[in-house]
Amino acid sequence: MAKKSFIVESVRRRNGSRTRFEGTIDELNKMFSYTLEVGKSWEHESGNSKINCNPRSIKVLIKNLNNAKNNAAANGYADRYYEQVEV
């Protein structure tokens, strides 16, 4: 049985540039592991969100990526956000 492939798009707020990443949930978890770990390291600060470093669904992965970027941002508001692209 083939695993389902997803497309995640990284969008920069300032100029709208977009970068696409494609893979299964496991491949995307490996691809974004550093981003999730950095966000997890800042979750102890006041106002920051909890980060799950091994999400099992695409919606949870997107939510955790966005929270991780915001946790690591100096002002709590990241310049990038992630969204799922429908194929």
Tell me the whole-structure pTM to 2 decimals: 0.92
Q: Give the chain's mean pLDDT.
A: 93
In this predicted structure, what is the pLDDT of residue 83?
A: 96
Nearest CA-CA partner of 15 in 78, 65, 80: 80
First to last CA, the chain: 19
In this predicted structure, what is the pLDDT of residue 7?
A: 96
Task: Fill in the amino acid letter for 54.
Answer: N
In this predicted structure, what is the pLDDT of residue 1?
A: 61
The residue behind tokens 């990284």 is 10
- The model's pLDDT over 25-61, given as tens digits with 9 standing for 90+, comes to 999 999 999 999 999 999 999 889 999 999 999 999 9
How far is it, in rounded angstroms, from Cα 19 to Cα 52? 23
